Chains A and B, each alone.
Chain A
Amino acid sequence: MIELVSRERCIGCSICVKVCPTNVFDMEDGQLVIARQEDCQTCFMCEAYCPVDALYVAPYADRSVEVSEQALLHQGWLGSWRAEMGWTPGSETTMAARDTTPFFEQFTKTHRPKES
């Protein structure tokens, strides 16, 4: 679920409000708020679209957890999904370009350990 809006980073652009498929965010007096956390479907799209990496979606779909912005920064999770997708400006390649799925079946056939 969505757990964090970094007050320091958020520039109030409203992109996440528009992008979130389940309408979790509201803009209140120019400030972004997580208005309906229980409606979050843990899809990580808001993180991918936020231009300043101000959002963090925790991996837990059915419950809310405590997070600390300091710890997330330290662990490198803020903005990590956008970076991995190659959507951060200056990215050299994209997740789509690195995609190995078209080779998955063949790779599995060739490289999966045989039953002993």
Chain B
Amino acid sequence: MAPKADIQLTTDVLVLGGGPAGAWAAWRAASKGARVVLADKGFLGSSGATAPGGTTLLVIPPVVELREDAVQSRLKAGGYLSENAWIHRVLDEVETYLEKVGEWGYPFPKDHNGNPLRTHLHGPEYMKLMRRAVRQAGVRLLDQSPALELLRDANGVGGARGVNRLTGQEWEVRSNAVVLATGGCAFLSNGLGCNVLTGEGLLMAAETGAELSGMEFSRQYAPSSAFGSVTRGRMLAWSTLYDQEGRVIGRGDRAFGSLQQHLLNGPVYASINLADTEEKRRFLRHAHPIFFMPLERAGIDPFRDKFPLTLRYEGTMRGTGGLRLTGNDCRTSVPGLYAAGDAASREKVTGAISGGGAYNASWAICSGNWAGEGAAEYALSQAGDTGKRNLMPAGRYGLVQHSDAGRLMDVPQIISAVQSEVFPLSINFFRSEPVIRASLDRLHGLVPFLHDSVSDDHRHRVRAREAAGMVATARWMYSAALARKESRGLHALAEYPRLDPRQTHRILVSGVDRIHIRAEKVPHSSELTPEEGMVL
């Protein structure tokens, strides 16, 4: 039996993660009459990829042809791994939730007919409103309270344990259902708002037996200024790109070669000099203030000066993979465990390509609502008291507090070892079988260190668990990458530069010590014609 926690709570639904998906899940579950606790590593309002910047939404007017077009083009672009019914669900529902955000006070701009344009949300404002809405719905918030492991018994998941980072107190929440909304894993690459996304949520789920899907679709890098954190590719549409000698290598949407390739050859500079009037500059400045402010603070005039670019790795956050969903209510393969947002695989709506931008934002809102409702119904339908379940902590990696060996886990070393496998374009972007295999072997070699002991300091404990999450995530990514012997969407292997119609399936991974891999059928695979297979 684990020692008694300082804070013991019993509730119906526990939501882990306070980004948009977690906030919506908590709000929905509470609206359905469930008692809800939401625990976030940081603070609901500032945590996650959405809060500091903004998020573009997938909203398409309810015109049958427009929606059919969107669904069909996504099906094709996503390598036939998406599911039309799920995209329709998102399109049908997201508008309703955005109306709510408007009612809660969000100042959506209006078109010339006075109709609100609900296609973009400014992060800080949006998440401040979400915090208020969640609290008003009666949700109990545990801020600065990272979860470390799930609780489970023979009937499935039944809560979680963690620590409060400010007080060091241990908390334990027992609940008949848990919604995992801990985001993707961005491996501490310093992208805006993304350093809370370290994969331990995925690890916690996997430790209870949950499967993951689409982890091979994880080759997404985002441009940012070389020194800054703000990853916004959009402004490049108004930029000229230069190489070190000042030669033009791209202009607007036209790039001569890929940014990845150029950056392997040497530094790349951008100047947003296609905005050639004051009016245009003002327009762009107001579209993405978060992009401009840091450049201005660095003394750069982004409209006239050239500033160096880099690519920051975005992991599974703007990749596609995550926990496999097995039902419309966003349940996972483990009873009592639900997933939403980037913690879930987004293949159902994005297929094999990135859900970055619009798709992911609308997905976070909708999947949050579905998971919240699903979890509430499940929890309320369970007879008996969670307090009486024989729940045990399910965590196994990066959690040992007193190992016999006495060797202390070298957490920074493990983290930088993982980063040196997943950041380099030469390994992860320009993927080839021998390189990925060698990298995966080195990653496997890190697993024994996850059984070293961790000091009692609560911050070290959180970091150790994050390191374990990153090791696990990287290994799932590369295991899945080797299992998909073709190139499709976000995944590519040099040896197999083409799409192979026979691999129009999903790749599922599970397990931590030993990784199991299997394929899953998708509903639209037969719609991929051989001719299309040639061009995709």
A residues lining the B interface (CB < 8 Å): 17-23, 36, 39, 41-45, 48-49, 58-63, 77, 80-81, 84-85, 87, 94-104, 107-108, 111-113, 115
Contacts and interface: CB of A to CB of B under 8 A. Distances in A.
B46 A21 contact: yes
B288 A112 contact: no
Given A43-B52, A45-B124, A60-B227, A100 B43 contact: no
Contacts of B106: 96
Interface stretch (B189-197, B323-331, B386-394, B521-529): B189-197
A84 B276 CA distance: 24
Contacts of B124: 45, 48, 85, 87, 95
A44 B52 contact: yes
A101 B119 contact: yes
Contacts of A42: 190, 192, 228-229, 294
A115 B487 CA distance: 33
A115 B234 contact: no
16 contacts: A21-B46, A36-B459, A41-B229, A43-B229, A49-B46, A60-B228, A61-B224, A84-B293, A85-B125, A98-B286, A99-B109, A101-B119, A102-B109, A113-B274, A115-B251, A115-B254
B48 interface: yes
A113 B272 CA distance: 12
B190 A22 contact: no
A111 B237 CA distance: 12
A100 B25 CA distance: 29
Nearest to A45: B46
A112 B238 contact: yes
B79 interface: no
Interface string B22-47: 00000000000000000001110111
Contacts of A111: 280, 283
Contact of A17 (B48, B120, B121, B166): B166
A96 B107 contact: yes
Contact of A21 (B41, B237, B283, B293): B41
A59 B294 CA distance: 5
Contacts of B43: 18-21
Contacts of A41: 190, 192-196, 229
A107 B274 CA distance: 13
Nearest to B107: A97
Contacts of B283: 100, 103, 107, 111
A97 B190 CA distance: 28
A62 B287 contact: no
B51 interface: yes
Given A111-B283, A115-B252, 10 more contacts: A18-B43, A18-B144, A21-B43, A43-B52, A48-B124, A49-B46, A97-B107, A101-B119, A101-B120, A111-B280
